Structure 1
Amino acid sequence: MPLYLLQLGGNVQMVGIMNSLASLSSMIGSLFWGKLSDRTLRRKIFILFGFFSVSIFLTVLSFANSPAEFIILNAVYSFFLASTLSVPIVLVLRSVRKHSWDYGIGKFNEISGWAWVFGLGLGFVLSQYLTIRQLLLLFAILNIPSLIWGAKTIREIPIYVNRKSIRIFGNYVVEKIRYVPTFMLHINLRKPKFGKFYFASFLFWISVGMYFSQFPVLLAENGFERRYIYLAAILNSSVSAFMYLKVGLMLENRDKLKVLKEGIALRLIGIATILIGTFMLPYLLPLAFLSYFLAGYSWSFISISSTSIVGKLAGEREKGTAMGTFNLINSLGYIIGSFLSGFLVYAGGFTANFGASSLFALLSLLSLRKLEI
């Protein structure tokens, strides 16, 4: 999406605004569709509606003629796409036994993660022959079988799920920052008893927003073709999916807070790597790939350990509420980071943006120093 926006005449500021608005729309949509699904006790119809919206909006987006038009359409698209994020989670919970919820959610995200990688790979191959407009139209058509298959195979389970009682899950595979939050079950805005951890997470997600929003723009602005950006994304997503189960097993015998600190430290090194690349442009491409590799590798440490920490800090009855608040804070951090990134690049170049991203990651790491679990 950032590449298409630039092709339409957009700039770095618009990329930041587009990503922040898309994430805000996704967050609102996730809550809206989830609550509407609970109220009507229907799941299947909302999932199919989300699939249908993908084909419709990809087609519409392919005909966008101005940056402003594209940003607005993408925000609306993100709102409707959110119905494929929060509602399927509930359907998964109702499709497996309660003691297997962790496995069910994990398997769902594992399949989604590798499908994401496959889609990136397909986009990489096709981008050698098709324009971005043509790719959007093609993917709109390729999505139609999912709608037909879903209508035939998805079973409606009209049973109410109390979102407040759902326990926390640490089963992320891909850092789907464009669709933050991955899922949101319940929100309670009361003051948490573990505000230090929330604050550290908030700082980290500001860093994430700054980093991911401008990474593809940096490569594009320096003359690298789309295929390199696709390859970087494939590398990032693949290493996250590959490392997820390994880190999960490792956490059984290690301190979760220490693993989280290691993950953020790795992410800080990754951001610093791309920051160095802004000073050494002849070496930008290999440094960018190394940076994106470290971003994907570190995510497996950060995602699992952070959700486990929330579960440990919260009481048994508070876990659903704690996760909802955690996701909300992360979403707001990413939205702020994405929004600021464009203005930072405009005012001080990519060096200023990735420098700020490094700073927020460092502040997040320092905020965890005095945290006790």
Structure 2
Amino acid sequence: MSRRELVVTQGRREKAGKVRRIRIKRRNVVLLAVGMFLANVAFGMAFPYLSVYMRLLGGGMLMVGLLSVAFNLTSTVFQYPFGYLSDRTHNRKAFISFGLFSTGAIYALMAFVSTPIALLVLRTVQGTFGSAMMPAHSALIAELSTRVGSAYGLFGSIENAGYMLGNFIGGFIIKYVGIRGIFLIAGALLVLSSAIVLLLRERPRPKRAPRKLILVQEGRESEKATFQGAAFKRLMRGHLGLFYLTVLLVMIASGQVYSVVSVYFEETFGSEWVGLLFGIDSLAAALSGYLLGKLIDRYGAKKFYLLAIAGYAIAFLGYAFAKSLPIMVAVAILSGVKWAMTLGASSTYVATKVKAVERGQAMGLLNAVMSLGWVIGPFIGGYLSSMSFELNFTSTLVPLGLAFLLAVRLPE
């Protein structure tokens, strides 16, 4: 074979390989989108009724708040380790699938509990195993596109559309199947979504020599791994560390409100409006997510992060003072838009500030900080709501105002 023929053959092979990689990436996008859409349908059905279920089992407002505290405390502890392991193994789909499957199995078990303590224990375990999903999920989305903001916006729209559909389905079928039936259906959907995610095709994990034994596993040889302390320190210092602090403050305010707002909706407008108002919120997030992602790519994540914080303040004041359904619907729309903005802007900001090899850890830290805010916030929210929902909602202006002032100092 002549030199020219060799060059032509090599060029054809490279072109075929590039086409094959593009096809695999597109297939992965479709499979991940379908899997996460179904998962969020399940989340949308089950989550709004957890607080109501706790009240039906005899738990007070403190126990309602502890549902969020327990889940997010364990999630905070385990998100960074799971993010590290997904970086180390280069196996995102396994962690996503495991998190979805375990969350679904525990939702199904919740249908059979009869005491507040049992529900709280299951929610705690759910936070532990479910935390495997989010760091790998966030890192994988960033790896599927060179336009990170648009990718997060697209998946944000898809997932919020699923959550919205779940909210509406839950609000409609609760009269027929009850809360226990909703948990069983949500569990089945999550198991199905975990199976779909396993169909993703990832590059083979590189073989590395393990260095330290830190994860003891009963009955078989332990996984050998080590946390990169230097990476953790890099992620937590400087402007990125300041950004994580602002996210913590915003999520404290979020935890104050959303850990109790379903009870507030149920008492104010009736149980059927719990799912419907959450659904309107999710619909707004779904419709705005992709457009916001494109705007974030064009104008920068910081600007939209600041707008999102302002949106939180306006929405929470709306919850405090809106007493009619039309106004509350408008507030729910605003709430959905600010959540899409928060998720897209914060994920894009972090993903574009770190190296690809540390992206899983960086996303794990972002999700851990969000979860930590939901550990602190529900304590405050449960206590203040026992006195007045309005007092609780308006008090969020304190952490939100501080977060806004700190975020102004962040670089673009």
CA offset at residue 207 of structure 1?
0.9
Paired residue secondary structure (2:232): coil
CA offset at residue 234 of structure 1?
1.0
Paired residue secondary structure (1:63): coil
Question: Do structure 1's residue 356 and structure 2's residue 403 form an aligned pair?
Answer: no
Question: Do structure 1's residue 331 and structure 2's residue 331 form an aligned pair?
Answer: no
Output the CA distance in 1 between the equivalents of 2:166 and 2:231.
32
Output the CA distance in 2 between the equivalents of 1:330 and 1:5.
23
| Residue of structure 2 in register with 1:26 after alignment | 75
2:343 to 292, 299, 303: 303
Give the conservation status (yes or no) of the 8 Å contact 1:15–1:214: yes
Output the CA distance in 1 between the equivalents of 2:302 and 2:252.
20
Output the CA distance in 1 between the equivalents of 2:97 and 2:307.
40
Give the conservation status (yes or no) of the 8 Å contact 1:213–1:338: yes
Sort the Cα spacing of 1:39 and 1:357 in 2 relative to 1 into closer, same or farther, 3 A.
same
Question: Do structure 1's residue 126 and structure 2's residue 170 form an aligned pair?
Answer: no
Output the CA distance in 2 between the equivalents of 1:247 and 1:358.
24
2:260 to 194, 198, 214: 214
Task: Structure 1: state its 5+ residue gaps.
Answer: 163-185, 278-282
CA offset at residue 358 of structure 1?
2.6
CA offset at residue 287 of structure 1?
3.8
Question: Do structure 1's residue 262 and structure 2's residue 291 form an aligned pair?
Answer: no
1:60 to 109, 112, 120: 109
Q: Deviations over 1:105-160 (max 9, x none)?
A: 66555433322222222222211312101221233344454455556x34464415
> Residue type of the partner of 2:401?
L
Give the conservation status (yes or no) of the 8 Å contact 2:157–2:287: no
| Residue of structure 1 in register with 2:122 after alignment | 73
Question: Do structure 1's residue 342 and structure 2's residue 389 form an aligned pair?
Answer: no
Give the conservation status (yes or no) of the 8 Å contact 2:156–2:344: no
Calculate the TM-score normalised by the size of structure 1: 0.76
The correspondence of residues 1-373 of structure 1 with structure 2, limited to 5 A, is: 1-36=50-85, 45-88=94-137, 96=144, 99=146, 107-146=154-193, 149=196, 153-155=199-201, 157-160=203-206, 188-189=232-233, 192-194=237-239, 195-222=241-268, 224-254=269-299, 256-277=301-322, 283-310=323-350, 314=353, 320=359, 323-346=363-386, 348-371=387-410, 373=412
Sort the Cα spacing of 1:55 and 1:120 in 2 relative to 1 into closer, same or farther, 3 A.
same
Give the conservation status (yes or no) of the 8 Å contact 1:43–1:158: no
Sort the Cα spacing of 1:192 and 1:149 in 2 relative to 1 into closer, same or farther, 3 A.
closer
Alignment RMSD, CA only? 3.5
Sort the Cα spacing of 1:89 and 1:365 in 2 relative to 1 into closer, same or farther, 3 A.
closer
Sort the Cα spacing of 1:360 and 1:259 in 2 relative to 1 into closer, same or farther, 3 A.
same
> Residue type of the partner of 1:188?
F
Output the CA distance in 1 between the equivalents of 2:89 and 2:408.
46
Paired residue secondary structure (1:69): helix
Sort the Cα spacing of 1:9 and 1:256 in 2 relative to 1 into closer, same or farther, 3 A.
same
Percent of residue pairs bearing the same amino acid type: 26
Give the conservation status (yes or no) of the 8 Å contact 1:267–1:298: yes
Give the conservation status (yes or no) of the 8 Å contact 1:13–1:341: no
Output the CA distance in 2 between the equivalents of 1:102 and 1:369.
20
> Residue type of the partner of 1:127?
I
Output the CA distance in 1 between the equivalents of 2:310 and 2:295.
18
Q: Deviations over 1:207-232 (max 9, x none)?
A: 1111211211112233x333201111
Output the CA distance in 2 between the equivalents of 1:309 and 1:142.
32
> Residue type of the partner of 2:371?
S
Aligned length: 339
Q: Which moved more, 1:40-49 or 1:298-307?
A: 40-49
Q: Deviations over 1:223-248 (max 9, x none)?
A: x3332011111111111121122223
Calculate the TM-score normalised by the size of structure 2: 0.70
